[in-house]
Amino acid sequence: MRHRIFTAVASLVFTFAAACAADIPQVGQEAPEFSLPSQEGSQVSLKEFRGQWVVLYFYPKDMTQGCTIEAHNFQRDLPKYQQRHAVIVGVSVDSTDSHKEFCTKESLTFKLLSDPDKKMVDQYGSLSPHGMASRNTFLIDPAGKVAKVWTAVSPAQHSEDVLAALSEVSK
């Protein structure tokens, strides 16, 4: 009996995960537009970045180990992104106050956007079954199209992977 229940639950989880993955914007598609508040309180929209590469990364929670490692690595590599005319934008469902505290504590200077209604996270197919953002990243080209997608990324090496892809696609 327990095995049947486990199998049924596992099947539902995998079906849900597959349905979410189908909603992830694909390479070549127009990136979904957004406008969300940053840690500074100002609204940030995708259209503001036309003409630049955008590294749009979703992460689960401010001030947690993996999210801090990922943010530190993006911050460490920020000059390399700027040389390639790319901006870093992080998104989670945390509040702007939480983002502000996270940026202050960790000396982060790029934009972190707050999506407590989970609309943008869902629009990018990055809403986890736990109600947080999944660790997914989208490289958006200067014309606003998705150039590369990473899902379920490993935070420790992710910035290097994104830089390598950015070097490839921006040639």
Active-site annotation, residues: 67
Please give the C-alpha separations between residue 12 and each of 18, 118, 119, 135, in angstroms, as whole numbers: 10, 22, 23, 21
Q: For the chain, what is the total number of helices (H) and then of strands (E)?
A: 6, 7
Helical packing angle, 65-76 and 96-106, nearest 10°: 60
Give CA–CA dist 56/144, Å, rounded: 12
Give CA–CA dist 91/121, Å, rounded: 8
Give CA–CA dist 11/43, Å, rounded: 40
